[in-house]
């Protein structure tokens, strides 16, 4: 049951909204002018506040980059761990959820992700090391789930878990550079397509049905074939 207190905590505050507005404005400027070419006054002007007021939320543009990095890189790692640690789920279901949530995150934070990719080297320590660690953790969670599927026979025995993980994460990450939210294809469709591609390259092909081992199996296969033929014969011409 949600109490008034917990509901109030979950509801974004005015400060949260202002903070997000600053990050959004900074993101656009970092993309257009680069981190080095953007100064605090540019960001303050874009948001419509004074430089002093902006300092209340962020002491520097580097601190904004840190926040953007946490919003994408750290969150991706945390989300992946929540799925990877659920060993009770079949490996294919775990991988499906891993891909879907990572694709959703990148598609909904495309601009932020592009900035982080371009500017991570500008992060001060220990934030740079933390971002790199989060990327490794994300990869490790994908590898863990894929390897579990290989060992359990749900995925192809000849698959390389690390290469497959890099490939899937790469598909998700690349959407930040080409996906157009105002285009004809929705983010949900893109995410579903990546999920489908990721699983298809790992799930083994279904083996052809073996020859009947006995008379009863042979009769059963014949009945199935006759049922298909009968259905086709009854179909009106031209369909």
Give tens-digit pLDDT for 34-66. 888 999 999 999 999 999 999 999 999 889 988
How far apart are the two ends of the chain, measured CA to CA in Å? 56
- What domains appear along the chain, each with residue ranges and CATH number? 13-59 (1.10.10.60), 67-205 (1.10.357.10)
pLDDT grade for 86, boundaries at 50, 70 and 90: confident
Rg of the chain, C-alpha, whole Å: 25
What pLDDT was estimated at residue 5? 46
At 206 the pLDDT is 66
- Of residues 104 and 222, the one with the higher pLDDT is 104
Residue 125, pLDDT > 60, answer yes
Q: What pLDDT is recorded for position 128?
A: 87
Nearest 10 degrees: Cα torsion 83, 86, 87, 93? -50
Write down the pTM of the prediction: 0.74
């Amino acid at each position: 049951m949600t109490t008034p207190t917990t509901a109030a905590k979950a509801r974004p505050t005015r400060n949260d909204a202002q903070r997000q507005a600053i990050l959004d404005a900074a993101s656009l400027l970092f993309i257009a002018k680069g981190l080095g070419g953007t100064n605090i006054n540019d960001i303050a002007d874009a948001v419509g506040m004074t430089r002093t007021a902006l300092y209340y939320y962020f002491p520097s543009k580097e601190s904004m980059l840190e926040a953007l990095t946490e919003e994408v890189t750290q969150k991706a790692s945390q989300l992946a761990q929540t799925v990877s640690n659920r060993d009770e789920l079949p490996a294919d279901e775990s991988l499906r959820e891993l891909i879907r949530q990572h694709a959703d995150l990148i598609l909904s934070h495309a601009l932020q992700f592009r900035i982080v990719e371009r500017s991570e080297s500008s992060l001060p320590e220990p934030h740079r090391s933390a971002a790199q660690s989060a990327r490794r953790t994300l990869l490790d969670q994908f590898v863990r789930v894929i390897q579990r599927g290989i060992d359990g026979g749900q995925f192809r025995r000849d698959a390389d878990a690390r290469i497959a993980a890099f490939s899937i994460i790469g598909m998700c990450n690349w959407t930040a550079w080409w996906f157009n939210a105002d285009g004809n294809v929705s983010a949900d469709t893109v995410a579903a397509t990546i999920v489908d591609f990721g699983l298809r390259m790992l799930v083994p092909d279904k083996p052809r049905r073996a020859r009947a081992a006995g008379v009863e199996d042979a009769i059963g296969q014949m009945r199935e074939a006759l049922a298909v033929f009968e259905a086709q014969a009854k179909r009106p011409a031209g369909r």
